[in-house]
């Protein structure tokens, strides 16, 4: 986010963290209130009840509400606090985009799947203590249990709702907060593009509370970070993020229909050499993406200047 001369980077970071903290608290109260008032679920039974198949719509609603208050709303309020006239434009929602860019990022998302799967395999090889293994595995099982509850899909209508709740909504809200807000702040703080993107990506991966998925999400964060830095367009980030999520949802739908949805099938990894193919492919795609983005941004700036002068 450019042009925030009245606020130091540390002040911007403090404001962002306070907004996210307030959003988390407020969103939790709203989510719990929805469960208690509209679903008649006692508060002390909430954590157990929301995982039941009959309450999947409640869990999806709570997920959406929590994400909105924790991510999307803080991003919008942050833009307003920074005294921006065009808040959405400052977050990266603009028309500086081309069909070629979109085609390239779709290929990036596919190549990223190969790299992400390889990193997940490498992540599982990291030596940790037995107690740490039990702890992280318990967290992973709890996370998967919630995901499986959210992805309780039996019809195409269920699949569509899951794509909206589990794929599209998180893609929009997470990109607004992490790439639209946190990344520019961390780049200013570190005074280094790579470091700023890396810190943002670590935070992005850490908030998912998954040790065994940490490297995969770290890589996804880095991919999204450089796409946003080069293009200055959040729609492209949302496209990659959505495709990444949508493929996972489609996989869970297929496994669910086949009665094979479990921790083992959802965590199957590709051979390690697929990752090398993905890295080479991604490097070539980034080379072309950078060139195309420079042209698109230059044309967009000329168009904006022309409109201002008319």
- Tell me: the pLDDT tens digits for 96-141? 999 999 999 999 999 999 999 999 989 988 999 999 989 888 888 8
- Give the phi and the psi of residue 267 in degrees, each rounded to 5: -105, 15
Q: Locate all alpha helices (DSSP H) within 39-98, ordered by sequence.
A: 46-49, 56-67, 73-81, 87-91
CB half-sphere exposure, 266, CA atoms < 13 A: 21
Average pLDDT, the chain: 89
Which is more confident, 268 or 71? 71
In a domain, 248, yes or no: yes
The answer to whether the beta carbons of residues 240 and 223 sit under 8 Å apart is: yes
- pLDDT given for residue 279 in this prediction: 95
Domain assignment present for 187: yes
- For 223-234, what is the mean pLDDT? 97
Q: Is residue 46 part of a domain?
A: no
Domain count, the chain: 1
Enumerate residues 6+ apart whose C-beta is below 8 A from 268.
none
Better-predicted residue by pLDDT, 36 or 17: 17
**Res. 2: pLDDT tops 60:** no
Is the pLDDT at 5 greater than 60, yes or no? no
Tell which residue, 63, 112, 162, has the closest CA to residue 274.
Answer: 112
CA 74-77-82 angle, to 5 degrees, is 120
Q: What is the pLDDT of residue 308?
A: 66
Structure tokens belonging to residue 127: 């030596």
Contacts of 290 (CB under 8 A, 6+ apart): 230
User: Residue 54: inside a domain, yes or no?
Assistant: no
Domain hosting 245: range is 89-309
The two tokens of residue 290 are: 């950078």
Tokens of 168: 């599209």
Give me the pLDDT at residue 303, please: 84
In-domain check, residue 148: yes
On whether residue 25 sits in a domain, the answer given is no
Across the range 3-23, mean pLDDT stands at 88
Q: Kindly indicate the confidence band of residue 43, based on its pLDDT and cuts at 50, 70 and 90.
A: confident
Q: Is pLDDT above 60 for 3?
A: no
Q: 211 in a domain, yes or no?
A: yes
Residue 304 within any structural domain of the chain: yes
Cβ atoms of 208 and 136 within 8 Å: the answer is: no
Q: Residues of the chain with pLDDT > 70: what percent? A: 94
């Amino acid at each position: 986010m450019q042009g925030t001369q009245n606020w130091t980077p540390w002040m911007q970071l403090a404001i962002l963290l306070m907004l996210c903290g307030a959003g988390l608290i407020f969103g939790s109260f709203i989510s719990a209130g929805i469960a208690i008032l509209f679903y008649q679920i006692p508060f002390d039974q909430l954590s157990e009840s929301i995982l039941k198949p009959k309450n999947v719509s409640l869990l999806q609603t709570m997920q959406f509400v929590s994400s909105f208050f924790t991510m999307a709303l803080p991003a919008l309020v942050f833009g307003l606090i920074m005294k921006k006239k065009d808040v959405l434009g400052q977050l990266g929602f603009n028309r500086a985009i081309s069909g070629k860019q979109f085609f390239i990022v779709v290929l990036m998302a596919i190549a990223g799947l190969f790299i992400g799967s390889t990193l997940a395999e490498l992540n599982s090889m990291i030596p940790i203590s037995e107690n740490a293994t039990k702890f992280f595995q318990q967290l992973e099982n709890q996370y998967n249990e919630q995901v499986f509850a959210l992805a309780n899909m039996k019809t195409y209508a269920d699949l569509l709702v899951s794509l909206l709740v589990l794929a599209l909504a998180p893609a929009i809200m997470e990109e607004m907060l992490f790439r639209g807000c946190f990344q520019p702040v961390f780049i200013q703080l570190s005074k280094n593009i790579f470091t700023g993107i890396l810190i943002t990506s670590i935070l992005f991966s850490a908030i998912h509370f998954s040790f065994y998925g940490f490297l995969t999400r770290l890589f996804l964060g880095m991919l999204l970070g450089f796409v946003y830095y080069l293009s200055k367009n959040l729609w492209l980030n949302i496209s990659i993020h959505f495709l990444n999520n949508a493929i996972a949802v489609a996989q869970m739908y297929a496994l669910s229909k086949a009665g094979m949805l479990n921790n083992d099938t959802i965590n199957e990894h590709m051979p390690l050499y697929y990752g090398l193919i993905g890295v080479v492919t991604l490097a070539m795609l980034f080379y072309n993406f950078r060139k195309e983005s420079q042209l698109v941004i230059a044309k967009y700036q000329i168009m904006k200047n022309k409109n201002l002068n008319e």
